[in-house]
Amino acid sequence: MPFLYRRMNLQKHTARVLRAHDLLCPQRVLLVACSGGTDSLVLLEVLNILRAADGAQLVCAHYEHGIRGAESRADARFVAGFCAARGIPFVLGTGDVPAYARAHGHSIETAARICRYDFLHRVRAEHGCDAVVLAHHADDLAETVLLHILRGTGPAGLVGMREWDGLHLRPFLAVTRVQLARYAAERGLTPCHDATNDTLDARRNRVRHELLPYLAHTYNPAMRDALTRLSGLAAEEEDLLTHLAEDAYGCAACPGGLSLAVLRTLHAAMQRRVLRLFWMRKTGSAQDFSYLHEERLRALVSADHAVRVEMQRGWYAAARYGVLTLMQLSPMKVPLENEEILLPLSREYAIINFQGIEFHLRRLSRMTADDWRRAQERTAVYADPAALPTLVLRTRRAGDYMRLPVGRRKLKDILIDDKIPREERDTLPLLAIAGTSEIFWIAGGRRSVLAPVTIPSDPVLRIAYDEGDDSQ
């Protein structure tokens, strides 16, 4: 019975992928993105079969993007009915993607992707889902890798998509479009058809319908397999190089940025990775960090005198005092006179926005190894909450000082000693004791001797200003 064999093969493959990532059990909740097309409908069907066999709980999410009018609304009703017939909770999201594209200067394709993922991540958080499951398959992976090559990608872009990135699960990356269509036919599924996938307006569609078939016909019949194999090999090497880059970044990190002396000792390939990591951690995103920006930073590494270059989105990079720094000189960073924000130290968790920078406050039962690392890197400050006075967020004022192990020192002298660029000193966020000139912490720099953590196992208060703080 080839029908049964093929069907069970896909189900077993999907179960194996879920089991590998500890997602195949009733305690897990999976958010399944379903457009109603063949790929996502097969995904929902297979996961529902696994659910009935003591698999994970499901929530289905469908985003109606407002592009195809009555047709896309009909797709939403179809997916809702499909879920109702199988007892799968269904969440519908709607939006005006064309309007979003016009407002932000994006293509329809890019705008649709942004809006869809924003919706999926919001639903995942609201329903407490462990993963967002997507129906990307081997052909999608090959197209993505080829698109990245055409755009001029580096090694990281050759990965294309990962099976599991800690949030998104793609169990079909080893399954072809033809195999999914065959499964749909054998199960009697009647998927929706999105006509926009047939047009040649979008670059991906041109790659799918024109370029890949041409390459397969003219140069390599196994073009798809070659691209997916390249993706797998790139992913393995990327994991190794990322680990090595993290170590190199730790060696180069210093107060204010990265040590130019250490950066100059790195191989060019590793230097690029460390600089990209630096940009991502400082700005919160590597999306707009191109080869051009990478080379601008590399030019600063080899500079023999103080120099500053413009990057993007109000960010500047500078090399001075032996340190590579990044700073944002945008209107949101211009200090408002006497502005200060009281920190809610009694709360278990809070996020405070100060002049465009997010500060995360969290009470911890104890400090972990990662916390000790962050304390050394000065990306967070840890304190005994019982001994901590009332704090405010503000910028520097005349007469500011800090109590250090060596005694009381003027803040001005500390900033000079730590080689903080002059143009950053007036905008530097400070944690100060309310109603005084005493500084508790220079964000990203030194802290006062006040309220130290004396016993690592005791409850502590963590205050951090970089993204990812709330991951624990």
Give tens-digit pLDDT for 242-252.
Answer: 899 999 999 99
Asked whether the predicted pLDDT for residue 472 surpasses 50, the reply is no
The larger pLDDT score, comparing residue 465 to residue 125, is at 125
Asked whether the predicted pLDDT for residue 280 surpasses 80, the reply is yes
For 169, list phi and psi in degrees, rounded to 5. -115, 130
Q: Give me the pLDDT at residue 249, please.
A: 94
Q: Band the pLDDT of 470: cuts 50, 70, 90.
A: very low
The CATH code of domain 255-329 reads: 3.30.465.60
For 262, list phi and psi in degrees, rounded to 5. -70, -45
* CB contact at 8 A, 343 and 391: yes
Q: Give me the pLDDT at residue 454, please.
A: 78
Closest-CA residue to 57 (of 134, 128, 162): 128
What is the residue-averaged pLDDT of the chain? 86
Q: Band the pLDDT of 136: cuts 50, 70, 90.
A: very high
Q: Give me the pLDDT at residue 157, please.
A: 85
Q: Give me the pLDDT at residue 444, please.
A: 83
SS3 454: coil
Asked whether the predicted pLDDT for residue 377 surpasses 70, the reply is yes
Query: What does the domain layout of the chain look like in residue ranges?
Result: 2-224, 255-329, 340-471
Q: Give me the pLDDT at residue 151, please.
A: 82
Helix 38-52 crosses helix 2-20 at what angle (to 10 degrees)?
80
Q: Give me the pLDDT at residue 288, please.
A: 65
Q: What is the average per-residue pLDDT within 435-457?
A: 86
Asked whether the predicted pLDDT for residue 439 surpasses 70, the reply is yes
The angle at the Cα of 325, spanning 432 to 246, to the nearest 5 degrees, equals 100
Q: What is the average per-residue pLDDT within 32-38?
A: 96
Residue 457 CB contacts under 8 Å (≥ 6 apart), including other chains: 366
The larger pLDDT score, comparing residue 471 to residue 301, is at 301
Q: Provide Rg for the chain, Cα atoms.
A: 26
Residue type, 62: H
* CB contact at 8 A, 421 and 257: no
Q: Band the pLDDT of 182: cuts 50, 70, 90.
A: very high
Q: Give me the pLDDT at residue 27, please.
A: 94
Q: Give me the pLDDT at residue 287, please.
A: 62
Asked whether the predicted pLDDT for residue 103 surpasses 60, the reply is yes
Residue type, 28: R
pLDDT, tens digit, for every residue of 313-371? 678 888 877 889 888 764 444 444 456 788 888 778 877 777 667 788 888 888 887 77
Closest-CA residue to 172 (of 209, 146, 147, 141): 141
Closest-CA residue to 432 (of 411, 458, 407, 456): 411
Asked whether the predicted pLDDT for residue 471 surpasses 50, the reply is no
Label residues 439-470 b or e (16+ Cβ within 10 Å = b). Answer: bbbbbbbbbbebbebeeeeeebbbbbbbeebe
* CB contact at 8 A, 382 and 462: yes
**From CA 16, how far away is CA 12, in angstroms rounded?**
6
Residue 445 CB contacts under 8 Å (≥ 6 apart), including other chains: 255, 256, 378, 414, 418, 420
The larger pLDDT score, comparing residue 38 to residue 357, is at 38
Label the pairing between strands 57-64 and 29-33: parallel
* CB contact at 8 A, 65 and 97: yes
| Greatest CA separation for the chain | 84
How is 75-102 classified by DSSP, letter by letter?
HHHHHHHHHHHHT--EEEEE--HHHHHH
Q: Is 2 left (phi over 0), alpha (psi -120 to 50) or beta?
A: alpha
Q: What is the average per-residue pLDDT within 29-55?
A: 95
Q: Helix-strand-coil percent breakdown of the chain, rounded to 5?
A: 45, 20, 35
Q: Give me the pLDDT at residue 329, please.
A: 62
pLDDT, tens digit, for every residue of 54-72? 889 999 999 999 888 889 8
Asked whether the predicted pLDDT for residue 178 surpasses 60, the reply is yes
The larger pLDDT score, comparing residue 309 to residue 313, is at 309
Q: Give me the pLDDT at residue 339, please.
A: 66
Asked whether the predicted pLDDT for residue 39 surpasses 50, the reply is yes
Q: How many residues does the chain have?
A: 472
Q: Give me the pLDDT at residue 330, please.
A: 47
Q: Give me the pLDDT at residue 306, please.
A: 64
For 2, list phi and psi in degrees, rounded to 5. -60, -30
Q: What is the average per-residue pLDDT within 85-113?
A: 90
**From CA 94, how far away is CA 66, in angstroms rounded?**
7
Residue 294 CB contacts under 8 Å (≥ 6 apart), including other chains: 272, 275, 276
* CB contact at 8 A, 97 and 111: yes
The larger pLDDT score, comparing residue 10 to residue 110, is at 10
Dihedral sign, Cα of residue 315, residue 317, residue 320, residue 322: positive
**From CA 351, how far away is CA 362, in angstroms rounded?**
9
End-to-end CA distance of the chain: 49
The angle at the Cα of 24, spanning 20 to 30, to the nearest 5 degrees, equals 110
SS3 395: coil
CATH match for 2-224 among 3.40.640.10, 3.30.420.130, 3.40.50.620, 3.30.590.10:
3.40.50.620
Q: Give me the pLDDT at residue 363, please.
A: 87
